[in-house]
């Protein structure tokens, strides 16, 4: 099972990224757990200074932008 983490404080971009992740997971049918991380200290532990960010299995894949469901699906498939 893949672990997808959305790093962000809850801004509108973070919410949009969350929706896009949920859509990508649903469309791919991949077995994933989705976790939202809103604690600033935990976010900075990933080395992230700009949100929203997306991590898969603890590896940061995107910082500072809202990926489309299609882009996220490609990352999940890897």
d(CA 60, CA 51): 11
Provide the mean pLDDT of the chain: 96
Question: Which of the residues 6, 7, 14, 37 is marked catalytic?
Answer: 14
Residue 69 sits in a domain of what CATH number? 3.40.30.10
pLDDT tens-digit profile of 24-34? 999 999 999 99
Q: What is the pLDDT of residue 29?
A: 93
Q: What is the pLDDT of residue 14?
A: 95
Q: Is 32 a catalytic residue?
A: no
d(CA 47, CA 31): 26
Q: Which helix (H) or strand (E) holds 78?
A: none
Rounded to the nearest 5°, which phi and psi values hold at 35?
-130, 135
Range of the domain at 62: 2-77
Q: What is the pLDDT of residue 33?
A: 96
Q: How many independent structural domains does the chain possess?
A: 1
pTM, two decimal places: 0.94
Question: Which of the residues 3, 9, 10, 11 is marked catalytic?
Answer: 11
Distance of CA 39 to the CA centre of its chain: 14
């Amino acid at each position: 099972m893949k672990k997808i983490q959305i790093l962000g404080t809850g801004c509108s971009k973070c919410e949009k990224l969350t929706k896009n992740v949920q859509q990508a997971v649903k469309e791919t049918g991949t077995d994933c757990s989705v976790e939202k991380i809103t604690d600033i200290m935990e976010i900075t532990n990933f080395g992230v200074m700009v949100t929203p960010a997306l991590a898969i299995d603890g590896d940061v894949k995107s910082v500072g932008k809202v990926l489309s469901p299609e882009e996220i699906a490609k990352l999940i498939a890897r």
